[in-house]
C-alpha cells in the first residue's frame, strides 16, 4: 500500500536540499530571510516526519513505505525506505534541529559564511542516510553530511577550532576511503548494493565470495564504529565536538548516532543477527567506550568536554546493548538513544551560555562580526536582543533537569530508558539470554556505574557553577537563546510522560529489526508506480 502523497518519502531530502541551495544565492547580510527559509524547512521536516510516523505505525493499516527512484523495478531501483526505525530517526533529527537553529540565530550564524546552507545540507545527509536502502547511497549521504559538518565544525574560526576541525576532517576522509573499499568488496562478493538483496544473497555464497563479503563488511563496520565513536576509534570526537560552536555541537549529537543506526540496520538484516559484524566484539567495544567516557567525564574541567564525553557514554551504552542483540533490549536502547541525544543536545546549548564569559571563542566571534560588517552600533543592539530577567534561575533549573536525565534519576526519561534495558536483560523474559549471563551482568553494572559517574561530575559542576562560583556569575542571555533549551527540556518531560506509547512504538521497531523478513519483503516486493499512459481514463 503506497504512502499518500506518494512523494512524501523523498521530501525529507528534497526540502533541505532545495532551500539550502536557494539560500546560496542570497548574501550573508540577508540573515532574516535565510533564517525564515531555514525555519520553514525544519518545521516542514518536523511535519513530514510526524506524517510518516502516523503512516508507518499509528495508521489502521501500518505500511513500510518504499520509494523507487526513477520508478525502476525492485531491486534494480535505488530505493528509499521509510519504516519505523528510519522515521523515528527523522523525527529525532528534526526535533533537535529546530532548537539548534533558533539558538544559532541569536549569535553564531553571524560568525561565518553560509551557516544556514551548511545546516540544511547537513540535514540532507542525515535524512538521506536514515532513509536509503542502498549501500552506495549510504556512502553518498555520509559524504554529504560530512562535507557540511566540516564547514560547521570550523564555523567561527580560532586556533583551537581549526586544529580540532582539521583532525576531524582527516579522520573522516580516511574513514570514507575505507568505506568505499568495503563497499567495492561487498559488491564484488554479492553483485548488488541494495541492502535487502545483499542480505538475501549472503546465505547462498560459496567459495571465495563468502570471505570477501565478510572482509568487506568488516571494513564497513569499522567505518560505522568510527562514526559512532567507539573506543579506541573515538580520539577525534571529544576535541572536535567540544571546540565547535554550541548549536553545531548540539546537532552533532545526532550526527554521532548515524554510525549506530547504520550498524544496527545492516547487522540485523544479515543472517545471524549481527554475527557478520561480530556482536561480541561490538559489546566489548561498547564496554570499553563506557569505561573511557566515565574516566573522561570525571577528568573534564570544561563543561563542553564533559558534554562530548556524555556523547561517548551514550554510544558505549548503545553498542553494548546492541551487542547482546535482544528485541526488548534493543527497544530500551532505542529509547535511551532518543533521550540521551535530546539531553546532550540541550546540554551543549546550556554550556554555551554558562561558559561564554570564559570562552576564548567569543573573542574570535567579535573579530568575525567586524569582518562581516557587524561592527556598527545598530547591529550590536540587534545582536544583544532582549535580555531575559532571572536568567541564572532559569538556567539552573534547566541544568538540574538535564542532569537528572543524563544521570538516570527517576522519573525522567534517562531513568526510564535504563530501566527498560535492565528489565530486558535481567527481568522476566530474559531466560533465552542464559548463555550471555556475563555480558548481561557487565552491562547492568555499567549502566549503574555510568549513572554514579554522571552524578559525581554533574553535582561537582552544579556546585561550582551555581552554588559556590569562584567569581560572581550573572549571565546576560536572551530569550531566543534560552527558549531552545527549555524546548528540549519540555520535549524530555513529554517523552517521560508518554513513555507507554513511545515504548510501544520502539518495541514494534525492535521487532521489525529482529525480523528482517518484513524489511526484505517490503523492499524486494515494492511495486512501480503505474505510468500515466497505462492508466485507465
Q: What is the pLDDT of residues 422-432, one digit of tens each?
A: 888 887 766 66
Q: What pLDDT does residue 473 have?
A: 62
Residue 279 belongs to some domain of the structure: yes
- Tell me the pLDDT band of 4, cut-offs 50, 70 and 90: low
- pLDDT digit string (tens) for 202-257? 877 777 888 888 888 889 989 989 888 888 888 888 888 888 888 888 999 998 89
Distance CA 207, CA 67 (A): 35
Q: Is the pTM of this model over 0.75?
A: yes
Q: What does the mean pLDDT of the chain come to?
A: 83
Contact indicator for 260, 319 with CB cutoff of 8 Å:
yes
Assigned domain for 191 exists: yes
**Digit-coded pLDDT (tens) for 305-360:** 888 999 999 999 999 988 887 888 889 999 999 999 999 999 999 988 887 755 44
Higher-confidence position of 52 and 465: 52
CB neighbour list of residue 7: distance below 8 Å, 6 or more residues apart: 67
Backbone phi, psi, residue 14, to 5°: -70, -40
pLDDT of 334: 93
The single-letter DSSP state of residue 533 is G
Mean pLDDT of the region 258-278: 79
Determine the 3-state secondary structure of 62 from DSSP: coil
How confident is the model at residue 359, as a pLDDT?
A: 45
Cell numbers that stand for 131 in this block: 532513509
Domain that holds residue 470: 6-370+384-527
Residue 66 backbone dihedrals phi, psi, to 5 degrees: -120, 125
**How many angstroms separate the CA atoms of 101 and 247, rounded?**
7
- Rounded Cα distance between 243 and 248, Å, is 10
Task: Write out pLDDT tens, residues 41-91.
Answer: 999 999 999 999 988 888 767 778 888 887 777 777 788 888 899 999 999
- By mean pLDDT, which of 27-31, 119-123, 244-248 is the weakest? 27-31
Contact 402, 458 (CB under 8 A): no
pLDDT given for residue 301 in this prediction: 81
**Burial class of residue 389, CB neighbours in 10 A (0-12, 13-18, 19+):** exposed
C-alpha cell read off for 359: 570562552
What value does the mean pLDDT take over residues 382-406? 73
Task: Identify the residue whose cell numbers are 549569535.
Answer: 107
Residue 292, pLDDT above cutoff 80: yes
Predicted local confidence at residue 77, as pLDDT: 76
Q: Does residue 68 belong to any structural domain of this protein?
A: yes
Whether 534 is covered by a domain: the verdict is no
Domain count, the chain: 1
Return the closest-CA partner of residue 276 out of 353, 329, 215.
215
Asked if the structure places residue 401 within a domain, the reply is yes
CA distance 270 to 530: 32
CA of residue 170 relative to chain centroid, distance: 21
Is the pLDDT assigned to residue 532 strictly greater than 60? Answer: no
Contact 297, 238 (CB under 8 A): no
Residue with cell 533549551: 485
Q: What string of H, E and C letters represents the secondary structure of 317-352? A: HHHHHHHHCCHHHHHHHHHHHHHHHHHHHHHHHHHH
Percent over 90 (pLDDT), the chain: 31
Count the residues in the chain.
Answer: 537
Q: Which band of pLDDT confidence, cut at 50, 70 and 90, is reported for residue 364?
A: very low
Q: Is it the case that residue 279 has pLDDT exceeding 60?
A: yes
Q: Which residues contact 193 (CB under 8 A, 6 or more apart)?
A: 134, 135, 136, 137, 183, 186, 187
Residue 379 lies in a domain: no
Residue 1 lies in a domain: no
Residue 437 has pLDDT above 80, yes or no: no
Asked if 55 contacts 9 with a C-beta cutoff of 8 angstroms, the reply is: no
- Predicted local distance difference test score (pLDDT) of residue 534: 53
Helices (H), 107-255: 115-131, 135-153, 159-190, 195-202, 209-228, 237-243, 246-255
Beta bridge partners, 194, equal 134
Confidence of residue 390 (pLDDT cuts 50, 70, 90): low
**CB-based contact 225:233 (threshold 8 Å):** yes
Neighbours of 17 (CB within 10 A): 19
Can you state the angle between helices 246-255 and 135-153, rounded to 10 degrees? 160
The reply to whether 302 falls in a domain is: yes
The answer to whether 153 and 244 are in contact (CB under 8 A) is yes
What is the crossing angle of helices 303-324 and 413-426, to 10°? 30
Percent pLDDT > 70 in the chain is 86
Q: Which residues contact 510 (CB under 8 A, 6 or more apart)?
A: 327, 328, 330, 331, 334
Residue whose C-alpha cell reads 576541525 in the numeric block:
165
- What pLDDT score was predicted for residue 157? 74
Amino acid at each position: 500500500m503506497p504512502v499518500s502523497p506518494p512523494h512524501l518519502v523523498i521530501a525529507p531530502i528534497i526540502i533541505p536540499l532545495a532551500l539550502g541551495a536557494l539560500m546560496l544565492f542570497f548574501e550573508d547580510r540577508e540573515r532574516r530571510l535565510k533564517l525564515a527559509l531555514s525555519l520553514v524547512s525544519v518545521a516542514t521536516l518536523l511535519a513530514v516526519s510526524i506524517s510518516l510516523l502516523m503512516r508507518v505505525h499509528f495508521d489502521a493499516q501500518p505500511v513500510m513505505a518504499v520509494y523507487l527512484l526513477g520508478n525502476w523495478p525492485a531491486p534494480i531501483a535505488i530505493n528509499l525506505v521509510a519504516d519505523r526505525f528510519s522515521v523515528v530517526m527523522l523525527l529525532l533529527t528534526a526535533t533537535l534541529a529546530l532548537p539548534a537553529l533558533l539558538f544559532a540565530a541569536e549569535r553564531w550564524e553571524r560568525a561565518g559564511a553560509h551557516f544556514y546552507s551548511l545546516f540544511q545540507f547537513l540535514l540532507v545527509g542525515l535524512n538521506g542516510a536514515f532513509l536509503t536502502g542502498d549501500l552506495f547511497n549510504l556512502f553518498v549521504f555520509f559524504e554529504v553530511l560530512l562535507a557540511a559538518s566540516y564547514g560547521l565544525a570550523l564555523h567561527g574560526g580560532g586556533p583551537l577550532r581549526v586544529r580540532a576541525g582539521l583532525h576531524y576532517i582527516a579522520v573522516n576522509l580516511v574513514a570514507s576511503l575505507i568505506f568505499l573499499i568495503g563497499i567495492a568488496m561487498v559488491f564484488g562478493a554479492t553483485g548488488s548494493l541494495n541492502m535487502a538483496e545483499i542480505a538475501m544473497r549472503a546465505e547462498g555464497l560459496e567459495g571465495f565470495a563468502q570471505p570477501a563479503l565478510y572482509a568487506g563488511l568488516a571494513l564497513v563496520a569499522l567505518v560505522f564504529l568510527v562514526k559512532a565513536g567507539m573506543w579506541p576509534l573515538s580520539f577525534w570526537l571529544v576535541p572536535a565536538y567540544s571546540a565547535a560552536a554550541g548549536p553545531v555541537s548540539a546537532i552533532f549529537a545526532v550526527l554521532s548516532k548515524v554510525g549506530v543506526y547504520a550498524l544496527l540496520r545492516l547487522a540485523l538484516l544479515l543472517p545471524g543477527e549481527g554475527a557478520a559484524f561480530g556482536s561480541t566484539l561490538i559489546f566489548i567495544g561498547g564496554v570499553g567506550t563506557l569505561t573511557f567516557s566515565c574516566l573522561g567525564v570525571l577528568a573534564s574541567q570544561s563543561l563542553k568536554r564533559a558534554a562530548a564525553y556524555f556523547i561517548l557514554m551514550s554510544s558505549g551504552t548503545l553498542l553494548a546493548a546492541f551487542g547482546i542483540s535482544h528485541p526488548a533490549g534493543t527497544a530500551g536502547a532505542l529509547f535511551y538513544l532518543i533521550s540521551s541525544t535530546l539531553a546532550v543536545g540541550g546540554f551543549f546549548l546550556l554550556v554555551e551560555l554558562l561558559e561564554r564569559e570564559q570562552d576564548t571563542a567569543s573573542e574570535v566571534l567579535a573579530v568575525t562580526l567586524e569582518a562581516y560588517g557587524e561592527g556598527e552600533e545598530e547591529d550590536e543592539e540587534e545582536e544583544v536582543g532582549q535580555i531575559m530577567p532571572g536568567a541564572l534561575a532559569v538556567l539552573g533549573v534547566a541544568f538540574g533537569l538535564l542532569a537528572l536525565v543524563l544521570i538516570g534519576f527517576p522519573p525522567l526519561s534517562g531513568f526510564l530508558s535504563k530501566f527498560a534495558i535492565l528489565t530486558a536483560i535481567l527481568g522476566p523474559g530474559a531466560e533465552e539470554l542464559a548463555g550471555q549471563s556475563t555480558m548481561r551482568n557487565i552491562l547492568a553494572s555499567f549502566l549503574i556505574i555510568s549513572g554514579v559517574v554522571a552524578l559525581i561530575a554533574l553535582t561537582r559542576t552544579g556546585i561550582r557553577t551555581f552554588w559556590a562560583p569562584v567569581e560572581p556569575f550573572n549571565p546576560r542571555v536572551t530569550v531566543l537563546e534560552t527558549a531552545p533549551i527549555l524546548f528540549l527540556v519540555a520535549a524530555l518531560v513529554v517523552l517521560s510522560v508518554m513513555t507507554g506509547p513511545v515504548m510501544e512504538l520502539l518495541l514494534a521497531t525492535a521487532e521489525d529489526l529482529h525480523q528482517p523478513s518484513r524489511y526484505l519483503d517490503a523492499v524486494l516486493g515494492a511495486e512501480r508506480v503505474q505510468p500515466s499512459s497505462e492508466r485507465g481514463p
